[in-house]
Structure 1
Amino acid sequence: MCLNTGYPCDCLTPDVLCDPCRKMAHDLQAPGDKEHLSSDDGVAGGGPVAASAAATTPMEPTVDLSSGCVAEQCGNLGRLMSGLIAVNTLILGSALVSGTAYSTTSFNSADLQVYLIILMVLSGAWMVYYTVHTSQKHKAVLFKDGHAGPVWLRGGLVLFGVLSLIMDIFKIANYVGYLHCESAVKVVFPVVQIVFIFVQTYFLWFHAKDCVELQWNLTRCGLMLLLSTNLILWMTAVTEESIHQTGVPDFHNINNATSSRKSIIETVSFGEDECKCSHKACKTIKQAYYYLYPFNIEYSLFASAMAYVMWKNVGRLTDNHAPHHIRFHGKDIFFGPIAGILLVIAGLATFVVYEVEMDQEDVGRREHALMMHFVMNIVAVILMSGLTMVGVAIHMLHQQEHALGKNPTRTLDVGLLLGSSIGQLTVSYFTIVAEVGTGAKGHLNGLNLAWAALTVLQVILQNMFIIEGIQRLPYHEPHQPVSNVIANPNPYGCPNEELKSAADLEASEIDTGTSTAIHPITPKYHPRLTWNRRVLKEVCAFLLLANVILWIMPAFGARPQFDHYLETGFYKFSMWAAVVNIGLPFGIFYRMHSVASLFEVYLCS
C-alpha cells in the first residue's frame, strides 16, 4: 500500500513510511486533530513534518503509521477500549481493597495481592514490549512533548521509587517470619513490586515525553492498564496505612474530651493473635516500613499522572516550537527560603513533641501537645494566606501573556490541584460544622475551629495563585551582551620599535586566522530581578517549604482528627473515620502536588 500516488512504493508493509508517504500522511490530518498543534509543545525533530501538518487538508484524516487506519477511527476505538479497561480494573480493585480492609470472612489480603501481582506482571510485560518495539521501529516516536515529565518530576519519581524499594525489602524481611502460618503470596507480592517499580521507573524516565505514532490502540490500552495498576496500588497503600493508624475505640472507657491515642489510634498487628513471628526483628521492621508508606503512596500517584499524560499524547502532533528553557536561580531571593526553613524546623520540632506526648497517659500533657500542634498549624496557614494574597495581587496588577493551545500536562496539573484540594476542604468543613454545632467551648475547640476555617481560606487562595502562575508564559531573560574589546597592545610601555613589530606580527596572525590580540570579551551578566518577580519568587519559595511541612506532619502519623475527641463524638466513629480516611489522603497528596506546582511557578516567575 502506498499513500503517495506520484511515487508508488511498498513502505507500509514493514510499518515504516518513506519520506514522501510520511509527509502525505501528515498532510491528511483531520481538523479535529489541529488542536494538538500548540506553540507550547516541544518537538523531537522533523520541522517540515510539523509545518506540513499545520497546513492540513480539511476533509482528510491522519493515518496511523502502523495499522493504516484513520486518526478518528483509531482515536475513538483506542479511547473506548482503554477507558473500559481502566473502569473495570479500578472498580474490581476498589471492591477487593474494600472487602479486605475490615472483612472477617475467608476473603483476605492475600487474594487482593494475587490480583495486584497479575496487574503488575501484565503492566510490566507491556512496558518491556513498548520499550523494545519503539526502539526497533524507525521513527516510531516522531515527536516529544517538551512539557511532559520535566527533570524535577522524574527525579522525584526516582527518589520515591528508591524509598519504595526499601519499604518492599523491609516487607519481605517481615513477612518471611510468618511463612510457617501465612500464605507465601505475602512474600511474593513485594518481590514482584520491586521488579515492577524498577521497570516502571526506567520506562517513565526515558519515555514520559513520547508522542508515539505506532499501535495507537494497544498503546492506549497499555497505558490505561498501567495507570489503573498504580491507582489500585495507591488505594491499597492508603488503606493499609489508615488501618495501621486507626482502630475502633471503646467509647465506654472514654471519659475525657481528649482520649488516649491508644484507644483510638493503635497499631494493627500483622496476625500476631493467630500467628507468631519466627524472628524477633518483626516488630521493629514493621514500624520501619510503615514510616515509608507516604513515599510509596506518592510514587504511585506520580506514576499515574505521568502515564495519563502519555495516554493523552498518543498520536499527538506538535509544532516546531521548542519549550522554554528555564534555569533555576536562587541567588536573588533570601527572605522566602529563610522563613520557610525556619517554619519547617519549627514544624518538625512540634511534630516530634506531639507524637511523643500523645502516647502518654497524662491527659494534661496530651492536651498541651494538641494545643501546640493546633497553634503551629494556625501560624503556618496565616502566614501562607497572607503571602498568597500578596502573590495574587501581583498577578492581578501585572498582566502577563498566557500560554495558548492545549497542553495535557498543564490541564492535568490544574485538575489534580483542584481535585485533591477537595479532600482537605472536606475534612475542614466537617470540622467547622462539628465545632459550630457544639458551640466550640474551650480553648482546644476554639483553636480547632480557627485552624479549619483558616485552612479553607488558605487552600482557596493557594489554588488561585498556582493556577494563575502555571498558565502564564515564563519571563524572558534579556540576551547576554557581547562586547568587542580590543586588548591594549602596549600595556607596559614598551619601545615603539617593539610595539611596531608586535603590531606587524598581530596583523599577520589576523590574516592567517590565528590572532588572539583582538577578541570579543563576554562579561558575566546576571540581570537583576524586577521587584514584582522577586516578590513572586519569595512567595513561591516560602509556600513551597510551608507545604512540605504540612505534608510531613499528616503523612508520618499526625492525626489530631482522632486525638481530639469532639468530631468523633459528634459524627460517631464510623462516619468520622470514613471522612478522614478518604479526605486526608487526598489532602496529603494536595500538599505534595502543591510543592511541585509551586516549583514550576517559581521557575516561570
Structure 2
Amino acid sequence: MDEVMSPGVDVQCDVEMVTGSDPDPEMDPEPEWVPGGRRLFSGLLGLNVIMLGAALMAADAYYANGQLQQGRQVFILLLLLLSVVWMLWYLLWSRKRPGRTPHTDHHAGGITITVVLVIFSAFSLFLHIFRMGYFIMMWDCKPLAEVLVPFAEAPFLALQTYFLWAHSKDCIHKHKILTRSGLMLLLSANILLWLNAVTEDTVHMEIELEKFWQNTYPDESPECQCTDHTPCLVFRKGFEILYPFNIEFYLMAGCMIYVMWKNVGRRVGKAPHEHHKHHDVMRIIRKEGILLGPLAGLLVLAMGAVSFILYQVWVSDARREDAFLVFYGYHLALIPAMSLFCLAGMITYRVEIRLHETSHNPTRSLDVRLLVAAAVGQLALSYFSLVAAMAIGSRDHLGSLDLSYNLFSLLELLLQNIFIIEGLHRHPSLNCTRTKGRLAGVIFKTNKCTKRAIQEICAFLILGNVMLWVIPAFGAHPQFENGLGKQFYGFQAWFIFVNLAQPLVVFYRMHSVRALMGLLISA
C-alpha cells in the first residue's frame, strides 16, 4: 500500500522552510493571522468538527429521546453540503488553472489503490440505492433527517471518488489555507461517516427485534415491520450485504485525503525511474516457470468462490448451520496451509545466501508500519473471541470450530507478518559476487532454487490473501450471526467492535497482497 501514503510525506516543504531557494511566484505566503502557520489552523478545525460530531453521535446513541434526537443526521447533512461545495470549488478552480500543481506526489494515488477505491465506491453507491428504497418503504417509521442522509451521501460519495481519482497526487501551492481547511473538512466528513456506519446498527437491531417477535409472539408483529413487504426485505438485504463496502470506502478515502492534506505546500522533484516501471507479475510467472503456487492458489480461489456462494445462500434460510460449517471448513483448510507456506518461506530465507539490509528505507518502513497496524484488527477480533469462548465455553461443534478458526488465524497472522517483514529486509543482490571458484557456483545454484521456492510461496499466498480479502469484503461475517462474542459482550457492543475490526482485516489482506507481489518480483 505504498501508493496510499508517501514516504516523504512528513517533510514540510513550504517555500519559507526551504533554505537558500528563491520564492516561487506561484506560491503564496502564509498569512500572519494564521496561528502557528502551516497545518495548525486546519488541524484544529478538523479536531473540533470531529469532536462535535462524535459528541452528537454519542448523545443520539445514549439519549435518543432527548432534544438532540436527530442531531447526528442534521450535522452529517450540513457537513456533506459544505464538503460538496468545497470540492466543486476545487474542481472548477483546477479546470480554470491548468498547471496549478507544478509538484505531484508520485507515491500517492497509485493505480492499485485508485482502482480498489472506485470498486468500493461503486458498491457503496448500490448500497445507498438500497438504503433509499428501504427508507422510502419505512418512511412513516424513520426520522426525516435519517431518510435524507442517503440521498445526500450518494452524490457526495460519487463526487469524492472523482475528486480523488483526478487529484490525489496534487501538491497545492496556492490558496494553501483554504485548501488545507477544505481537505480537513473532507477528512472529518469521512471519519464521521465511517464512525456513523460503524455505530449505526438500526437495521440489525430491527432484524433481531423481528426474530424476537416471531419466536415469542408468532401471532403478533410490531408496527412498521419490514417483513410485511417483499420489496422492503429486498432493499434491507442489499443494505445488509453491502454494508462493509461503505465502511471500507471511507477508511481508504480518509487515508488518501490525509496524504493530500500533508502534501499541500510540498515541493517534490521528478519521480525516480523505478516508480515508472510497471512489473508484470503474470510475465514473471510465465518466464520463471512458476507452476505449483499459482495452481494451488487457483484451487483456493475456486473453492473459496463456491464456499462464499453457498454461505450467502444458506445463511439466510433454514440451512444456517450448514452455512457456518462450509465457512469454517474452508477457512480451517486454507489458513493452516498458508501458515505452512509462510513457515517454509521463513526456512528458505535461512538457507538462502543473501545479505540482510539494515539501512534506512522510508518505503520499507512504511510498509512494515502499515502491515503491523492493519494486523491489529484481526488480532483484536481473535483475542476477543477467545476470551468469550473461555468465559462461556464452546458447548457445540460450531463453538469449537469458531475457537479453532481464531487460534489458526492468530498463528497465520504471526507467521505471515514475519515472512513478509523478513522478505522486505533482504538485500536486493545476492551475496556471492565476491566469491570465486566452485563455492560461487554452489551458492549461485542454491540461491536460484530458494528464489524459485520464494516465488512459488508468494504466488500461493497472494491468491490466498485475495480470497481472505474478498470473503469479508463482500459481506460474509459469521461473527455477526454465530460465535460467542454476541452472547458474551452483548449485541450492540459486539456489533460496533466487529465493524471497527473488519475494515482493518480487509485492509491488512489488501496490503499483504501488495507486499507479497513486491517480494515475488524482487525474489
Q: TM-score, normalised by structure 1?
A: 0.67
Residues 1:296 and 2:246 aligned together: yes
Of 195, 209, 218, 2:155 maps to: 195
Report SS of the residue matched to 1:214: coil
Give, as a single letter, the amino acid of the residue that structure 1 aligns with 2:160: Q
1:24 maps to what in 2?
none
SS at match of 1:78: coil
Q: Residues of 2 paired with 1:190 and 1:80: CA distance?
A: 33
Mean Cα deviation higher: 302-311 or 338-347: 338-347
Which residue of structure 2 lines up, in the alignment, with residue 492 of structure 1?
A: none
1:328 is aligned, of 280, 284, 295, to 280
Deviation at 1:138, TM superposition (A): 6.6
CA, structure 1 residues 73+156, in 2 after alignment: closer, same or farther (shift >3 Å)?
A: farther
8 Å contact from structure 1 (residues 264, 562) kept in 2:
no
The Cα of 1:471 is off from its aligned counterpart by 7.2
Match for residue 544 of structure 1?
462
Q: 2:407 aligns with which of 440, 453, 477?
A: 453
Give the 3-state SS of the residue equivalent to 1:340 in structure 2.
Answer: helix
Corresponding residue of 2:382: 428
Q: Is the 8 A contact 1:171 1:289 kept in 2?
A: yes
Question: Aligned pair 1:85/2:56, yes or no?
Answer: no
Q: Residues 278 and 430 (structure 1 numbering): CA distance in 2 closer, same or farther, change over 3 Å?
A: closer
Q: State the match for 2:173 in structure 1.
A: 213
Q: Is the 8 A contact 2:462 2:516 kept in 1?
A: yes
Q: 2:328 aligns with which of 374, 395, 401?
A: 374
RMSD: 4.4
For the residues of structure 1 that align with 2:22 and 2:317, how far apart are their CA atoms?
A: 70
Secondary structure in 1 matching 2:376: helix
Unaligned ranges ≥5, structure 1: 1-31, 38-49, 251-260, 477-528
Task: State which of 217, 223, 246 in structure 2 corresponds to 1:273.
Answer: 223
- Does structure 1 residue 594 correspond to structure 2 residue 512? yes
Q: Which amino acid in 2 is paired with 1:425?
A: L
Structure 2 CA distance for partners of 1:275 and 1:565, relative to 1, 3 Å: closer
Task: Specify which of 361, 384, 393 is matched with residue 338 of structure 2.
Answer: 384
Q: Work out the CA distance in 1 between the residues paired with 2:340 and 2:136.
A: 52
2:310 and 2:340 map into 1 onto residues whose CA distance is: 27
What residue identity is the alignment partner of 2:380? Answer: T
Q: Structure 1: how far apart are the matches of 2:72 and 2:300?
A: 41
| Structure 2 residue aligned with 1:342 | 299
| 1:583 and 2:501 correspond | yes
Are 1:475 and 1:604, in contact at CA under 8 Å, matched by a contact in 2? no
Contact 2:106 2:169 in 1 (8 A): yes
The residue identity in structure 2 corresponding to 1:295 is F
Amino acid at match of 1:287: K
Residue in structure 1 matched with residue 436 of structure 2 by the alignment: none
Classify the secondary structure of the residue corresponding to 2:269.
coil
Q: Conserved in 2, the CA contact under 8 Å of 1:78 and 1:221? A: no
Q: 1:590 to 1:77 in 2, by over 3 A?
A: same
CA distances 1:16-57 after superposition (whole Å, capped 9, x unpaired): xxxxxxxxxxxxxxxx999579xxxxxxxxxxxx9xx99x44
The counterpart of 1:161, out of the listed 112, 121, 125, is 121
User: What amino acid does structure 2 have at the position aligned with 1:383?
Assistant: A
Contact 1:75/1:217 (<8 A) preserved: no
C-alpha distance in 2 between matches for 1:85 and 1:342 = 51
Q: Does 1:318 align with 2:264?
A: no
Deviation, 1:64, is 8.7
User: What is the letter of the counterpart of residue 339 of structure 1?
Assistant: A
| Rounded Cα–Cα distance in structure 1 between residues aligned with 2:135 and 2:451 | 53
Deviation at 1:157, TM superposition (A): 1.6
1:3-152 equivalence runs, <5 A: 56-57=19-20, 65-69=26-30, 76-101=36-61, 104-105=64-65, 111-137=71-97, 140-152=100-112
Aligned pairs for 1:352-501 (under 5 A) are: 352-358=309-315, 369-393=323-347, 397=352, 398-399=354-355, 406=362, 414-436=368-390, 443-467=397-421
Cα gap change, 1:173/1:140 in structure 2, threshold over 3 Å: closer, same or farther? same
Return the offset for 1:239: 3.0
Deviation at 1:150, TM superposition (A): 1.0
Check if 1:286 corresponds to 2:286. Answer: no
Residue 571 of structure 1, CA deviation: 4.9
1:225 aligned onto 2:179? no
Q: Which has the higher helix share?
A: 2
Corresponding residue pairs, total: 484
Cα pair distance change 1:533/1:356, threshold 3 Å: same
2:442 is aligned to none
The CA deviation at 1:135 is 4.4
Per the TM alignment, residue 249 of structure 1 is displaced from its structure 2 partner at its CA by 7.2
Name the aligned partner's letter for residue 463 of structure 2.
Answer: L
Distance 2:449 2:368 in 1: 27
The answer on whether the counterparts of 1:247 and 1:265 sit within 8 Å (CA) in structure 2 is no
Moved more, 147-156 or 383-392: 383-392
CA distance in 2, matches of 1:335, 1:415: 31
What are the superposed Cα offsets for residues 424-467 of structure 1, whole Å, 9 maximum, x if unpaired? 11121123334445676665444333322221122223334445
| 1:299 shift after superposition | 1.9
| 1:424/1:584 contact within 8 Å kept | yes
> Is the CA contact 1:167–1:289 (under 8 Å) kept in the aligned structure 2?
yes
**1:178–1:277 contact (8 Å) kept in structure 2:** no
Residues in 2 aligned to 1:272 and 1:441: alpha-carbon distance in whole angstroms: 33
The amino acid of 2:73's aligned partner reads Q
**2:108–2:259: 8 Å Cα contact kept in structure 1?**
yes
Q: Deviation per CA, 1:554-580, whole angstroms, max 9, x where unpaired?
A: 444544445555445555656555544
Contact 1:400–1:472, Cα closer than 8 Å, also in 2: yes
The residue aligned with 2:256 is 306
The CA deviation at 1:126 is 1.9
Q: Decide which moves more: 414-423 or 308-317.
A: 414-423
Q: Is the 8 A contact 1:35 1:405 kept in 2?
A: no
* 1:398-417 deviation digits (Å, cap 9, x = unpaired): 3476885646xx76655443
Specify whether residues 418 and 227 from structure 1 end up closer, same or farther in structure 2 by C-alpha distance, changes over 3 A only. farther
Distance in 2 (CA, whole Å) between partners of 1:298 and 1:147 is 21
Structure 1 Cα separation of the partners of residues 497 and 374 of structure 2: 14
| Post-superposition offset of 1:310 | 1.4
- Deviation of 1:149 after TM superposition, in Å, equals 1.0
User: Any idea what SS the aligned residue of 1:237 has?
Assistant: helix
Rate the CA distance shift 1:427–1:560 in 2: closer, same or farther, 3 A: same
Unaligned runs of 5+ in 2: 1-7, 216-220, 431-446
Evaluate the alpha carbon distance shift between residue 437 and residue 164 of structure 1 in structure 2; reply closer, same or farther with a 3 A threshold: closer
Measured at CA, do residues 247 and 335 of structure 1 come closer, stay the same or move farther in structure 2, by a change above 3 Å?
A: farther
